[in-house]
């Protein structure tokens, strides 16, 4: 998960896999719950009640599971004071995934948030806060999106599952999980080129080594250039 702060807001982008898993499921998926999202928020001096927005690029359980927790044996929103934003088609698919999509969605990751009146859906594009925009693309899933954060000097892009790791910066390197490979190739080709040409900072959700990197052109190909801490410290994305 990534935490964005500015304009009086605290935004969690993709809260993560969560902790509502049986021991069998933990073994199957090799889940390591250390640290939890509460612990990582605490390292930033925050708690779930302090989060003002939760942004989901899509509703696969490995991205949205942590937005729900259990209290007294009942599923409840983990971030009770936050607006939750997700693509409309993703919310609908989570409720009724059908046979092809059933393995990737759990209705219980979304329904408690909707029942609490905290869920907002969108189609196409939505500006959540000044400079913070979510763009629906499709390909990996029906409504998978990317999130851009723009300031006076820099733009960052949270790639979600459109470019899940720095190993996926070549447009043909499409995950086997992608529902529509042709659409994936189209949106990846356009957005990777744009990120490279404009020098965006990339935020990589599934990369276990490099959370931040820029995509650079390398002849007819691309390469990922990981960012050091000093480079990130100097990046000005948005003003308060």
**Region of residue 192 (left: phi > 0; alpha: psi -120 to 50; beta: else):** alpha
What's the Rg (C-alpha) of the chain?
A: 17
pLDDT averaged per 10 residues, the chain (length 240):
94 95 92 88 97 98 96 96 98 94 95 98 97 98 97 94 98 96 98 98 96 97 89 56
For residue 117, how far is the Cα from the chain centroid? 21
Q: What is the dihedral of CA 118, 8, 237, 149, to 10 degrees?
A: 20
pLDDT of residue 93: 97
CB 17 within 8 A of CB 65: yes
pLDDT of residue 33: 75
For residue 10, how far is the Cα from the chain centroid? 15
pLDDT of residue 77: 98
CB 55 within 8 A of CB 83: no
Rounded Cα distance between 106 and 59, Å, is: 8
Which residues, 6+ apart, have CB-to-CB distance to 37 below 8 Å? 1, 12, 15, 16, 48, 66, 78
pLDDT of residue 240: 42
CB 122 within 8 A of CB 87: yes
pLDDT of residue 32: 84
pLDDT of residue 239: 45
Rounded Cα distance between 209 and 165, Å, is: 9
Rounded Cα distance between 152 and 8, Å, is: 18
pLDDT of residue 34: 81
Rounded to the nearest 5°, which phi and psi values hold at 51? -75, 130
């Amino acid at each position: 998960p990534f935490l964005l702060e500015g304009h009086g807001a605290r935004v969690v982008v993709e809260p993560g896999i969560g902790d509502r898993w049986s021991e069998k499921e933990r073994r199957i998926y090799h889940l390591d719950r250390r640290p939890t999202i509460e612990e990582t928020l605490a390292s930033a001096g925050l708690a779930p009640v302090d989060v003002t927005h939760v942004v989901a690029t899509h509703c696969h359980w490995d991205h949205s599971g942590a937005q729900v927790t259990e209290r007294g044996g009942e599923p409840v929103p983990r971030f009770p004071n936050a607006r939750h934003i997700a693509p409309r088609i993703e919310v609908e698919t989570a409720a009724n995934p059908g046979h092809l999509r059933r393995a990737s969605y759990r209705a219980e990751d979304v329904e408690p948030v909707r029942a609490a009146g905290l869920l907002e859906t969108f189609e196409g594009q939505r500006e959540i806060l000044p400079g913070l925009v979510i763009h629906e693309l499709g390909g990996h899933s029906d409504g998978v999106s990317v999130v851009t954060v723009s300031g006076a000097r820099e733009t960052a892009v949270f790639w979600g599952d459109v470019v899940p790791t720095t190993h996926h910066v070549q447009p043909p390197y499409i995950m086997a999980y992608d529902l529509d490979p042709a659409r994936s190739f189209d949106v990846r080709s356009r957005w990777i080129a744009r990120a490279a040409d404009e020098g965006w900072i990339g935020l990589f959700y599934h990369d276990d080594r490099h959370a931040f990197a820029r995509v650079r052109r390398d002849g007819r190909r691309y390469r990922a250039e990981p960012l050091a801490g000093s480079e990130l410290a100097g990046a000005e994305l948005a003003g308060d």
